[in-house]
Structure 1
Amino acid sequence: MSLPLLELFPAGLRGRLEKLPQTLLLSLEEIRVREGRPLEIGFGGGSAFVCPQGKAVTDSADAYRPTREDCRALLERVTNHSLYAVEEELRRGYVTVAGGHRIGLAGRTVLEGGHVRHLRDVASFNIRIARARTGCAASLLPELLDPVARTVKHTLIVSAPQQGKTTLLRDLARAISAGQWYHPQAQRWGGRKVGVVDERSEIAACDRGVPAFDLGPRTDVLDACPKAEGLMMLVRSMSPEVVVADEIGRPEDAYALKEALHAGVRVVATAHALDLRDVFARPVLAELASEGMFGAYVLLSRSGGVVRHRVVGADEAEAEARKSSGCRSVPVIRSPNADGVRHA
């Protein structure tokens, strides 16, 4: 783990985390701090607790239990000593800190008009550790290429949380921007102009507008911008050839993606879903799928620390849609350029 992230923690927590073996620190994926409850770490698909002496243990009874003071000090550091400055983030339940690390928060909500206005009495933190894994898209990208258009297909990456969607998306953006297609027939294609809408500041981890992660030489980033609005802004102002967005699912996201498609821009996005059945069970994603928005679906699965992918083409996805609906047929209208071919 990088030293700057350790410095985020108050002394009582940091001292114990720093005592963990270096190999374990480097493989950490999340740290869960809960007031009065065991300090927990996640790594490589597994988890353990941290005891007062700074060792990983399996029995929660042996774990260190963060105090109210630990949690108060951590919240102060996470919010840079200004709850007001991150009020919008608190309303959404997370804060993104330098380096693209996302801190999930839970506590008592303050409602206004039936909607969450603020979060107070924060007693749970989930620190999700962001890392660049350069080259992790190497085995996948060749399966997503559109040889006719010499670019990438419209692609939806699907998995449950913590399967590596954002990490993979980041490296896809880098490779497409750099023209690193990992395929002998694409050596002369060159890179594409990429636009990234980074609503949660996780993909690029921008510092004053400059990405902390390598997203390639032809990539422009709209940081901390709602996806739907950001997609339209990029298409209008930055003339991207490929747009990238994380965790789509709202109606306005679908509208913006379709507008990008009709503007001739390729789309690479992620969504939370276990499999294609889940995709077609979500109204917004089902609408996009039924209109033939995507030429490829990437299904991620994880066993231990190994992430595997399976690429499903549009035709197989349509068959899955028919199966999921319980109908013999589902009307599918293919959008132009979903897979490089215009369908009747």
Structure 2
Amino acid sequence: MPQPLLELFPASLRAVLEQLPAPVKTTLEEIRVRENRPLEIGYASRYSFVREDGALSERGDEAFVPSSEHCRALLERITHHSVYAVEEELRRGFVTVSGGHRIGLAGRAVLDKGAVAHLKDIAGFNVRVARARVGFGSEVLPELLDFGAKTIAHTLIVSPPQQGKTTLIRDLARCISSGQWHHPSAIGWGSRKVGIVDERSEIAASDKGVPTFDLGPRCDVLDACPKAEGIMMMIRSLSPEVVVVDEIGRTEDAEAIREALHAGVRVLATAHASGLADVFARPVLAGLAADGVFGRFVLLSRAGGKVEHRVVSADEAVREASRRFGRTIGATPRDAPAPSPAVSSAEPVPVTVKTRAMPTIRSPAPASHITAERRDGHD
């Protein structure tokens, strides 16, 4: 666990976490602190309760139980002792701290004209540990290339939460910004100008506007900026060749993505969905898919502690959606057995995808130290 993140916790709670086994610390994904309830962690695609001596247990009655004082101290630390300074974050239900770690909050919602104004009586925290996985993108990027335009195809990365979408999109941005295409036919393409709209401050983990993660030499970041507005700001003033956004799903997101498309900008985005069936069931995503906006879909899943991916073209995605296989609504629990697909007797619903010619991207001649392709395919 990164030391700056560990130091956010009050001393007695920190002492418990410091005693976690070393293999657990290196694979730690979540720390769940709930007032007067057992301390829980997620690691390597598993969940366990944590005893006071740092040992793991499957029994909640053996676990360390954070008190109201622990929760109050943790809230003060993550808000820098000023809840009002992070009022907007409280309204959205999370606070992003230095390093790109997102802390989800649970408590009592305060409403204003039927909308959530902010949270109070906060008694639950989900600390999500952000890590850069350099090299993750090199495994996927060769399947996303548009060889005619010498750049990346419009791509949507899809998975339930905690499958690695943000980690992947971060490393893909680094590869594209560095001109590391990891394909022998792409040697000499050069790097591309990448613009990241980092609404939740997770992709770049910017500190006073400066990214703390390695995103390559030709990358600009709009930190804590709403996606739709940020995409338009990028197009108007920063002339990106590839725009990167995380967790799209609103109508205004789709409209901004279409504007980027018409401006000749490639889009690399993520969305929450358990599979292609969910993509075509969500109106905003289905509209983008049906319009042929995305040339590739990347489906992420976990097998044990490893993240696996499958790349599907736009035509393949439509064919899969039209077959109407049995579909699970929502995310599947990590320990659930793999379902046996059952073909529905219903007639396939025809789905069509509109296609359009994409403009060629022109970039300045790359410097030799940026475009040199590594033979081993790794950084």
TM-score w.r.t. length of structure 1? 0.96
Deviation at 1:339, TM superposition (A): 11
* SS of the residue 1:137 aligns to: helix
CA distance in 1, matches of 2:27, 2:111: 38
Asked if residue 332 in structure 1 is aligned to residue 350 in structure 2, the reply is: no
Aligned to 2:376: none
CA distance in 2, matches of 1:211, 1:66: 33
Aligned to 2:28: 28
Deviations 1:79-110 (CA, angstroms, capped at 9, x unpaired): 11110000000000000000000000000011
Aligned to 1:66: 66
CA contact (8 A) 1:36 1:66 kept: yes
Deviation at 1:327, TM superposition (A): 4.9
CA contact (8 A) 1:291 1:335 kept: no
CA distance in 2, matches of 1:57, 1:33: 16
Aligned to 2:271: 271
* SS of the residue 2:25 aligns to: helix
Deviations 1:244-287 (CA, angstroms, capped at 9, x unpaired): 00000000000000000100000000000000000000000000
CA distance in 2, matches of 1:277, 1:337: 26
CA contact (8 A) 2:155 2:296 kept: yes
Asked if residue 195 in structure 1 is aligned to residue 195 in structure 2, the reply is: yes
CA contact (8 A) 1:48 1:56 kept: yes
Deviation at 1:321, TM superposition (A): 3.6
| One-letter code aligned to 1:243 | V
Q: Describe the shift of the 1:326–1:21 C-alpha distance in structure 2 as closer, same or farther (beyond 3 A).
A: same
Deviation at 1:123, TM superposition (A): 0.6
CA contact (8 A) 2:243 2:265 kept: yes
Aligned to 1:211: 211
* SS of the residue 2:138 aligns to: coil
CA contact (8 A) 1:158 1:300 kept: yes
Deviation at 1:65, TM superposition (A): 0.6
Q: Describe the shift of the 1:108–1:326 C-alpha distance in structure 2 as closer, same or farther (beyond 3 A).
A: farther
1:186-335 aligned at under 5 Å gives the runs: 186-324=186-324, 327-335=348-356
Deviation at 1:328, TM superposition (A): 4.3
* SS of the residue 2:207 aligns to: coil
Aligned to 1:83: 83
Deviation at 1:326, TM superposition (A): 5.8
Aligned-pair Cα RMSD in Å: 1.5
Structure 1 gaps, min length 5 = none
Deviation at 1:319, TM superposition (A): 1.5
Deviations 1:293-331 (CA, angstroms, capped at 9, x unpaired): 000000001012100000000111122343349654223
CA distance in 1, matches of 2:47, 2:114: 36
| One-letter code aligned to 1:175 | C
Structure 2 gaps, min length 5 = 325-345, 362-379
* SS of the residue 2:86 aligns to: helix
CA contact (8 A) 1:248 1:269 kept: yes
| One-letter code aligned to 2:73 | A
Aligned to 2:39: 39
* SS of the residue 1:220 aligns to: strand
TM-score w.r.t. length of structure 2? 0.88
